[in-house]
Amino acid sequence: MPKKITIEPVTRVEGHGKVTIHLDDNMNVVQSRLHIVEFRGFERFIQGRPYWEAPVLVQRLCGICPVSHHLAAAKAIDMLVGAGNGEGLTATGEKMRRLMHYGQIFQSHSLHFFHLVSPDLLFGIDADPSVRNIIGVAMENKDLAVQGVMMRKFGQEIIEATAGKKIHGTGAIPGGINKNLSIAERNRFLDGKAFPNVDQMIEWSLGALDFFKDYHKKNKDLIDNFAAFPSSHLSLVRKDGALDLYHGVLRAVDAEGKVILHDVDYRDYLDSIGEEVRSWTYMKFPYLKKYGKKNGWYRVGPLARMNTADFIPSPLAQKEFEQFRAYTHGKPNNMSMHMHWARLIEILHAAEMMKELLHDPDLQGEDLVVTGSRQFEGIGLLEAPRGTLFHHYRINEQDQITMANLIVSTTNNNEPMNRAVASVAKDYLTGQEKITEGMLNAVEVAIRAYDPCLSCATHALGKMPLEITLLDSKDQILDKKRN
Amino acid sequence: MKEFVTITIDDQEIKARPGEFIVDAARRNGIYIPTLCNMPGVKPAGSCRICTINVNGRLMTSCTTPVAEGMEIETISKEIEDFRKAVVELLLVEGNHFCPACEKSGTCELQALGYRLEVMAPRFPYQFPKRDIDAGNPKLVKDHNRCVLCKRCIRTILDEEGHHIFAFRYRGHQLQITIDPEYGMNMTDELAQKAAKNCPVGALLYRGKHGFEIPIGKRKYDKEPIGSDIEKLKKVKTS
Ligand code: SF4
Ligand code: FES
């Protein structure tokens, strides 16, 4: 009799998800789906609010990467006040925002790698969940755990110095920024007195890369084959093809590396990208219009960015990038677990960029805001830690928002995550009668590679609060298990 | 008329000017009585009741009660503190006050009172009233969700010819602030800015300058709780 397995909630991803796996009479996987059951409705309740509230209001979507929403909204609002589209700000305005963004990338990626992923790597997917967590990491590898905590802290301190608060600040305002970086504030990141300095961050980023590469060498099969599948990749790149997390043009490549979206001005995103709604989940499915709903899906995030960019404009990360690209002989890398490698290269890049910016006297500039003539439509995109983030607003003559459209990174990765779950479900579950902890976690590990932010919520520490439900073809519950 | 009257506030003997309101006499002597609808120098409205004190055994609003010879006043006690806290809680549940996205956060007097009086979770149920934003005025955006009906705008914002720009309309729980369609349209930037500044909450927003332009850390109540400026007077006096 066909059966359905439900994994709920998925742990160590940001938020909650529910996975269902349908089995047929012979215990073959016939269908697997990642359901998103939260609906936050921001696009609706922002309507009527004055446009200048958007950067502060919308960031509440998320407690994990609010800065990304804050800045994407600010870039859209820049357009509304006639301050260009991500390029028209003063040097201080743009560089303060960039510093904030690199701080965000650095802290979010560090959190993900050290707290959420390293337990799987250190202890293995099948390990006892009571040790397979950050506490376990601290017991086993104290240095790694401490570095993770300190790197996260460094990123958050950068955010506080630029946005005013570690979470949900107000730094970016229409047309610029509300503060510069004083010499005293800057020195905290350089002198290493209050916390390890930026040079230490670069060193630890390199160390984390070494840790991963060493692990990769010893676990080639897992890292190269786990949840691997071909796909297109999409991200912003700088106009000259460089990796740029704050601003650029839209580029997509297919699984073979052919450019299929040619450096498009992101204000025209609606010409290239559509969104499909499916009945069983609240999360939409974006796709490249040219290739249709079925084939137009793509991946975003660190892996996609490594595949779309031509180079990385910071020397140490560029070296790592070259190794990364050489591994697949210059072809796009389609291995889900290489997402972690890509993420670590970005951690290094962010650290290098923070160092460069901290030494830039423009950050002490006084010219913070520009204004121009009013527009009624604003679009802002950037590369959030988890991938391309779209913010789009329209306002009326009274400054009130009349329309908001947000495509968040995790939504862009909706189809890829479903594919990853399907691929793992087939490998691990087909033909099995018994469901082991390790097998279920394998599904989670596949989802976790995408670092999905399913909504803002805390994640469980330690033992997986799992509920598994087995259902037959008539959706009758056959069995229910809780650990 | 006597040059001054003697009153006792919290066991401290104070010389007050005849006709002076208790809240002002206290303020001059470094004693902070929390207020919300009151503004020094402006005719009191007595609408919020936060300044409630005990005068000769009776609860009264200190912003509307003039001093009188021999008054025994208690400004702080468990009962009074709890009463004030309840008033702030009522205001918080009665409107839609979402500090996280409000540009007045950090300079909002209602929020500052909430912090100072240690309001954690209101004891009353949230009303979540359905209220709108009125963005029809070219200088100001009016957010009825946040208005506490203190009348500060009505009392302090007059044009050069003495016309009131703000008024109340409707009754009961529908009572709301309205901007005069004629005088409001011709409001100067200075006056609009003053209105936004005098509003203790984020109900009047000036389009030309947004609260978010002040970085966190530099906002009025970021460094010290509301009332600290008044209490400092006392410290200077006694030291
Ligand atoms: S708009 Fe502001 S100043 Fe006017 S009554 Fe409402 S809260 Fe008071
Ligand atoms: S301050 Fe006295 S009643 Fe409002």
* Inter-residue contact A155 to A347 (CB < 8 Å): no
The string over A364-393, giving b where at least 16 C-beta atoms fall within 10 Å of a residue's C-beta and e elsewhere, is ebeebbbeeeeeeebbbbbbbbbbbbbbbb
Q: Distance, CA B46 to ligand 1 centroid (Å)?
A: 14
Q: Which two tokens stand for residue B82?
A: 């709890």
Contacts of B218 in chain A (CB under 8 A): 179
* Inter-residue contact A137 to A144 (CB < 8 Å): yes
Mean pLDDT along residues A143-156 = 90
The answer to which of A53-57, A86-90, A443-447, B216-220 has the lowest mean pLDDT is A443-447
User: Closest ligand 2 atom to the C-alpha of B44?
Assistant: 2
**Closest Cα of chain A to B196: distance in Å?**
15
Q: Which of A387, A381, A373 is nearest to A308 (CA)?
A: A387
* Inter-residue contact A251 to A235 (CB < 8 Å): yes
In percent, how much of chain A has pLDDT > 90? 51
B149 lines ligand 1 (CB under 6 A): yes
Residue A200 has pLDDT above 60, yes or no: yes
Strand-by-strand arrangement of the A3-8 sheet = A29-35, A18-23, A3-8, A467-472, A477-482
Alpha-carbon distance A315 to A345, whole Å?
11
Question: In the prediction, which pLDDT does A464 show?
Answer: 32
Instruction: Please indicate if any CB of chain A lies within 8 Å of the CB of B219.
Output: no
Categorize the per-residue pLDDT at A479 as very low, low, confident or very high, splitting at 50, 70 and 90.
low
In this prediction, the answer to ipTM > 0.85 reads: yes
Bridge-based pairing of strands B176-179 and A273-276 is: unpaired
The string over B13-44, giving b where at least 16 C-beta atoms fall within 10 Å of a residue's C-beta and e elsewhere, is ebebeeebbbbbbbbbbbbbbbbbbbbeeeeb
What are the phi and psi torsion angles at A277 (to 5°)? -105, 135
The number of the ligand nearest the C-alpha atom of B44 reads 2
Question: In the prediction, which pLDDT does A2 show?
Answer: 60
B36 lines ligand 2 (CB under 6 A): yes
Residue A26 has pLDDT above 80, yes or no: no
Q: Do A52 and B132 touch (CB under 8 A)?
A: no
Residue A434 has pLDDT above 90, yes or no: no
Q: Do A400 and B205 touch (CB under 8 A)?
A: no
Question: In the prediction, which pLDDT does A28 show?
Answer: 73
Contacts A–B by Cβ distance under 8 A: 53
Alpha-carbon distance A14 to A460, whole Å?
10
Q: Distance, CA B203 to ligand 1 centroid (Å)?
A: 6
Best B105, B207, B212 member to test A by mutation, with max A CBs in 10 Å, is B212
Strands (E), A360-466: 377-384, 387-395, 401-407
Report residues of chain B scoring pLDDT below 70.
1, 235-239
Name the closest-CA residue to atom 6, ligand 1.
Answer: B147
The answer to which of A112-116, A163-167, B135-139 has the lowest mean pLDDT is A112-116
Residue A11 has pLDDT above 60, yes or no: no
Question: In the prediction, which pLDDT does A457 show?
Answer: 24
Question: In the prediction, which pLDDT does A426 show?
Answer: 76
Residue A472 has pLDDT above 60, yes or no: no
The overall average pLDDT reported for chain A is 83
What are the phi and psi torsion angles at A29 (to 5°)? -75, 125
Q: Distance, CA A235 to ligand 2 centroid (Å)?
A: 56
DSSP string, chain B: --S-EEEEETTEEEEE-TT-BHHHHHHHTT-----SS--TTS-----S-TTEEEETTEEEETTTPBP-TT-EEE---HHHHHHHHHHHHHHHHHTT--GGG-TTTTT-HHHHHHHHTT--S-SSPP------EE--SSSEEEETTT-----HHHHH-B-TT--BSEEEES-GGG-EEEE-TTTTTT--HHHHHHHHHHSSSTTEEETTS-GGGSPTTSSTTTSS-TTHHHHHHHHHHH-
Radius of gyration of chain A from its Cα atoms, rounded to whole angstroms: 22
Mean pLDDT along residues A409-422 = 80
B25 lines ligand 1 (CB under 6 A): no
The residue count of chain B comes to: 239
The number of angstroms, rounded, from the C-alpha of A98 to the middle of its chain's C-alpha atoms is 17
Alpha-carbon distance A209 to A27, whole Å?
40
The number of angstroms, rounded, from the C-alpha of B31 to the middle of its chain's C-alpha atoms is 17
Alpha-carbon distance A265 to A358, whole Å?
30
Bridge partners of B74? B54
Question: In the prediction, which pLDDT does A146 show?
Answer: 85
Instruction: Please indicate if any CB of chain A lies within 8 Å of the CB of B185.
Output: no
Q: Distance, CA B34 to ligand 1 centroid (Å)?
A: 17
Q: Do A179 and B133 touch (CB under 8 A)?
A: no
Side chain identity, residue A303: L
Categorize the per-residue pLDDT at A446 as very low, low, confident or very high, splitting at 50, 70 and 90.
confident
Question: In the prediction, which pLDDT does A222 show?
Answer: 82
Q: Do A56 and B101 touch (CB under 8 A)?
A: yes
The answer to which of A306-310, A381-385, A470-474, B18-22 has the lowest mean pLDDT is A470-474
Question: In the prediction, which pLDDT does A467 show?
Answer: 47
The number of the ligand nearest the C-alpha atom of B195 reads 1
The residue count of chain A comes to: 483
Q: Which chain B residue shows the shortest CA-CA distance from A162? A: B215
Who among B207, B216, B218 is closest to A399 (CB)? Answer: B207
Mean pLDDT along residues A176-188 = 96
Instruction: Please indicate if any CB of chain A lies within 8 Å of the CB of B217.
Output: yes
Ligand 2 pocket test: pick from B21, B38, B80 the residue with the most ligand atoms within 8 Å of its Cβ.
Answer: B38
Question: In the prediction, which pLDDT does B171 show?
Answer: 92
Q: Distance, CA A267 to ligand 1 centroid (Å)?
A: 40
Q: Which chain A residue shows the shortest CA-CA distance from B204? A: A50
Domains of chain B and CATH, by start: 5-77 (3.10.20.740), 85-213 (3.30.70.20)
Instruction: Please indicate if any CB of chain A lies within 8 Å of the CB of B18.
Output: no
Residue A482 has pLDDT above 60, yes or no: no
Q: Do B100 and A174 touch (CB under 8 A)?
A: no
* Inter-residue contact B113 to B50 (CB < 8 Å): yes
Query: Which residues are within 8 A (CB) of A281 and not within 5 positions of it... i.e. 6 or more apart?
Result: A33, A34, A35, A36, A37, A414
Query: Which residues are within 8 A (CB) of B19 and not within 5 positions of it... i.e. 6 or more apart?
Result: B66, B67
* Residue numbers of B between 114 and 153 with CB closer than 8 Å to A: 132-133, 135-136, 141
Mean pLDDT along residues A240-248 = 96
Q: Do A170 and B212 touch (CB under 8 A)?
A: yes
Q: Which of B83, B42, B78 is nearest to B61 (CA)?
A: B83
pTM of the entire predicted model: 0.89
Residue A277 has pLDDT above 70, yes or no: yes
Give alpha helix (H) positions in A192-252: 198-218, 220-225
Q: Do B215 and A168 touch (CB under 8 A)?
A: no
Ligand 2 pocket test: pick from B22, B49, B198 the residue with the most ligand atoms within 8 Å of its Cβ.
Answer: B49
**Closest Cα of chain B to A48: distance in Å?**
7
The string over A186-214, giving b where at least 16 C-beta atoms fall within 10 Å of a residue's C-beta and e elsewhere, is bebbeeeeeebbbebbbebbbebbebbee
A43 by Cβ neighbours in 10 Å (0-12 / 13-18 / 19+) ranks as middle
Question: In the prediction, which pLDDT does A433 show?
Answer: 60
In percent, how much of chain A has pLDDT > 70? 78
Instruction: Please indicate if any CB of chain A lies within 8 Å of the CB of B164.
Output: no
Bridge-based pairing of strands A18-23 and A176-177 is: unpaired
Contacts of A60 in chain B (CB under 8 A): 100-101
Question: In the prediction, which pLDDT does A111 show?
Answer: 84
Q: What is the pLDDT of residues A314-327, one digit of tens each?
A: 999 999 999 999 99
B179 lines ligand 1 (CB under 6 A): no
Residue A16 has pLDDT above 60, yes or no: no
Q: What is the pLDDT of residues A364-385, one digit of tens each?
A: 999 999 989 999 999 999 999 9
Side chain identity, residue A308: T
- Three-class secondary structure of residue A406 per DSSP: strand
Give alpha helix (H) positions in A328-413: 338-358, 409-412
For A241, other C-beta atoms within 10 Å of its C-beta total 15
Alpha-carbon distance B89 to B72, whole Å?
28
Categorize the per-residue pLDDT at A456 as very low, low, confident or very high, splitting at 50, 70 and 90.
very low
Name the closest-CA residue to atom 4, ligand 1.
Answer: B153
**Closest Cα of chain A to B134: distance in Å?**
9
B151 lines ligand 1 (CB under 6 A): yes
Question: In the prediction, which pLDDT does A150 show?
Answer: 93
Q: Which of B148, B141, B156 is nearest to B206 (CA)?
A: B141
In the DSSP assignment, the letter for residue A171 is -
Q: Do A170 and B135 touch (CB under 8 A)?
A: no
For A221, other C-beta atoms within 10 Å of its C-beta total 7
* Inter-residue contact A205 to A345 (CB < 8 Å): no
Mean pLDDT along residues A22-28 = 73
Ligand 1 pocket test: pick from B37, B111, B153 the residue with the most ligand atoms within 8 Å of its Cβ.
Answer: B153
Alpha-carbon distance B170 to B153, whole Å?
17
Alpha-carbon distance A341 to A208, whole Å?
10
What are the phi and psi torsion angles at B185 (to 5°)? -70, -30
**Closest Cα of chain A to B218: distance in Å?**
9
Query: Which residues are within 8 A (CB) of A83 and not within 5 positions of it... i.e. 6 or more apart?
Result: A89, A174, A175, A176, A369, A370, A371, A372
- Three-class secondary structure of residue A431 per DSSP: coil
A479 vs A351: which has the higher pLDDT: A351
A368 vs A455: which has the higher pLDDT: A368
Helix (H) / strand (E) element for A439: namely helix A437-448
End-to-end CA separation in angstroms for chain A: 25
